Structure 1
Amino acid sequence: MTDNGGAVRRAGRRGLLISIGIAGVLAATAIAGVFVLPGREYDDQQARAALQGGLLTAAAALVAVVGALIALDETRQANAEIRRANENTHVRELYTRAVDQLGSDNVTIRLGGIYALERIAVDSPADQRTVVAVLSAFVRVRSTALAQRSASRGGPDDEPQRPVPPAADIRAAVQVLGRLPSRDGIPRSDLNGADLTGPASLAQLDLAGANLAGTMLSRADLTGAVLSGADLTDARLREANLSGAWLDGANLTSARLSGADLTRAWLDDANLTNTRLSRADLTHVGALSQEQVDTARGDRSTRLPTWLVRPVSWGQPESPDDQ
């Protein structure tokens, strides 16, 4: 939402100051006319006195107008300060209530707190950094706590095997982080180590430049997600749906993409050092270079475009079509 209140107030004050200036000039002109014009234009004493009286009356009226306009400007400024103070108080109260809601045992109340924080971030740009930090911490703490209680360890890649997607409130918080306005100097999110394992619908999610190091996103639906420049070091994306995702400039060092769907994913300038690509199909990936392939960790099941040379360490492909 665009906030035009400040611009409107500034325009109104400029108009008021212009009016004060015009009224002041007219008043000064009338006063000068009392002493200059009658002596030059009128010989009759009575007519001169009448004109002087009229000019003095006009000057007094204009001075009164100037005073009233100045008083109006001061009143408007005072009212603006009161409104800003009330708005700040309202934001603080809304923020406190929203944070309290995040700790509720009722998922509906927690969702209300998440969306209230979204409203604060949109309406009050100065508070967006705080909102991002709070929602990021909520996702990290709650997701890992749920994983510790419900996950059974010992699956592939030593990842928790949870058949259900992340809870509704966790998904909502991640989605809110992804759709907050992009503002200079404010991070998208810090989900370092969060556990979003499972078929979570995070399609079209925009977390460009976010800290997703160590995040568990196996089997997540990230179709068309914007992860450009994101830090995905050690992230677990096993069997994730990354079709059409933007991973340009992302740091995927030691990330696990075994079995991930990378159809039409964009990997321009992505760091694939030690990235695990077992069972990954890279034949339709965009902007994949030989240098990236040489630093990644594939195997016989990894499929490459025909124009790239298969590293010897990957072994021979399982079938000629995999080359």
Structure 2
Amino acid sequence: MKTISPGAGAAVNGFRTAVAAIGVGAAALAGLYFTHQTHQLSRSAQYTERFSKAMEMLADKEEARQLGGVYALERIMRDSPYDRPAIIETLAGFIRLTSPAPSEDAQSFIESKKSPVPESARAAFYAIARRAVNPGDPEIDLSRCDLRLLHCKDANLVGVNFSRSDLRQSFFERGNLRESYFMGARLDHVWFSECDLTGSKFPEARIGNCMFDDSVLDEANFAVADDITEDSLTVMKSYAGAIFPWTD
């Protein structure tokens, strides 16, 4: 019988040990993967349950319950990237449903400082406005909404569609409204302070007494906007490449 030298025996034992270690490591990795998947499924089920409960609250007729639904959805939006797009669209749809644009003959200037927008709709708007910037967010449709007398600071409203909405007497400070669309919107007495409105479009928007204090309007389009005057330019921070009714 051929004998195995001590060196060869050590090599064989080392190989067996390595194989055993690899087996243990693979089992550990498989266990970790299974645990992770189980955890993910559990979290997904929790989000689904939380989302369902929040939607039930949002659909309630009592405004207090609706508010609870809005805040619950906002928490899920922060916690679950997967559910974020659906929640943003849900909140926008809720605003359109509960705060439709007023009629043309609605009071032109509101003396009261209280917004006519329902509290739950305001909460939904602010939830959208204060969300973190995310390139994967869906386009936000806030067209034909009553958004009067809102007060927003540091809002993320990039690319929002405000077509035919009424934003009269609202105040936006340091807001990011790049590429937003204001077709036919009521912007009378709106105050944009230190906002970025680069590339935004204002076709047929009514801009009487709208202020753009220290705001950036580069590449903005006011070609067929109503009531904008050259005096409006004096308070803008910049308007390079912007188009105005008097532009050749």
Give the TM-score range, shorter chain: 0.7 to 0.9
Deviations 1:275-313 (A, max 9, x none): 122689412223347852416xxxxxxxxxxxxxxx9xx
Asked if the contact 1:196/1:216 (under 8 Å) is kept, the reply is yes
Q: Does 1:130 align with 2:86?
A: yes
Task: Give me the whole-angstrom Cα distance separating, in 1, the residues matched to 2:17 and 2:147.
Answer: 72
Write the letter of the residue equivalent to 1:115.
Answer: Y
Aligned-pair CA distance for 1:267: 1.8
Asked if the contact 2:130/2:154 (under 8 Å) is kept, the reply is no
Asked if the contact 1:267/1:287 (under 8 Å) is kept, the reply is yes
Which segment drifts farther, 237-246 or 118-127? Answer: 118-127
Q: Does 1:167 align with 2:118?
A: yes
Asked if the contact 2:220/2:243 (under 8 Å) is kept, the reply is no
Write the letter of the residue equivalent to 2:246.
Answer: D
Asked if the contact 1:218/1:238 (under 8 Å) is kept, the reply is yes
Q: TM-score, normalised by structure 2?
A: 0.84
Q: Does 1:222 align with 2:172?
A: yes
Task: Give me the whole-angstrom Cα distance separating, in 2, the residues matched to 1:280 and 1:139.
Answer: 34
Aligned-pair CA distance for 1:53: 6.5
Task: Give me the whole-angstrom Cα distance separating, in 1, the residues matched to 2:242 and 2:76.
Answer: 46
Task: Give me the whole-angstrom Cα distance separating, in 1, the residues matched to 2:229 and 2:245.
Answer: 14
Task: Give me the whole-angstrom Cα distance separating, in 2, the residues matched to 1:80 and 1:128.
Answer: 22
Q: Does 1:178 align with 2:129?
A: yes
Write the letter of the residue equivalent to 2:99.
Answer: S
Which segment drifts farther, 57-66 or 206-215? Answer: 57-66
Q: Does 1:292 align with 2:234?
A: no
Secondary structure (helix, strand or coil) at the match of 2:195 reads coil
Identity %: 24
Greater gyration radius: 1
CA shift in 2, pair 1:64/1:170, >3 Å = same
Which segment drifts farther, 104-113 or 76-85? Answer: 104-113
Write the letter of the residue equivalent to 1:117.
Answer: L
Segments of structure 2 that go 5 or more residues without pairing to the other structure are none
Residue 75 of structure 2 is matched in structure 1 by 119
Deviations 1:58-79 (A, max 9, x none): 5544433322222212111111
Task: Give me the whole-angstrom Cα distance separating, in 2, the residues matched to 1:231 and 1:211.
Answer: 5
Task: Give me the whole-angstrom Cα distance separating, in 1, the residues matched to 2:206 and 2:166.
Answer: 10
Deviations 1:38-93 (A, max 9, x none): 2xxxxxxxxx5xx7766655554443332222221211111122111111111111
Task: Give me the whole-angstrom Cα distance separating, in 2, the residues matched to 1:117 and 1:291.
Answer: 39
Task: Give me the whole-angstrom Cα distance separating, in 1, the residues matched to 2:230 and 2:87.
Answer: 37
Segments of structure 1 that go 5 or more residues without pairing to the other structure are 1-33, 39-47, 296-310, 312-323
CA shift in 2, pair 1:280/1:111, >3 Å = farther
Task: Give me the whole-angstrom Cα distance separating, in 1, the residues matched to 2:181 and 2:155.
Answer: 15
Q: Does 1:204 align with 2:154?
A: yes
Task: Give me the whole-angstrom Cα distance separating, in 2, the residues matched to 1:227 and 1:260.
Answer: 15
Which segment drifts farther, 86-95 or 284-293? Answer: 284-293
Deviations 1:112-139 (A, max 9, x none): 2222222222222222211111011011
Aligned length: 242
Secondary structure (helix, strand or coil) at the match of 1:292 reads coil
CA shift in 2, pair 1:52/1:279, >3 Å = closer
Residue 64 of structure 1 is matched in structure 2 by 20
Deviations 1:243-277 (A, max 9, x none): 32222210111111111222223221111022122
Richer in helix (by share):
1
Asked if the contact 1:153/1:160 (under 8 Å) is kept, the reply is no
Residue 61 of structure 2 is matched in structure 1 by 105
Secondary structure (helix, strand or coil) at the match of 1:122 reads helix
Query: With CA pairs under 8 Å and 6+ residues apart, which has the higher RCO, 1 or 2?
Result: 2
Task: Give me the whole-angstrom Cα distance separating, in 2, the residues matched to 1:119 and 1:188.
Answer: 20
Secondary structure (helix, strand or coil) at the match of 1:242 reads strand
Asked if the contact 2:131/2:156 (under 8 Å) is kept, the reply is no
Give the 5 Å matches for 1:9-158.
Answer: 35=4, 38=5, 48=6, 59-144=15-100, 154-155=105-106
Residue 244 of structure 1 is matched in structure 2 by 194
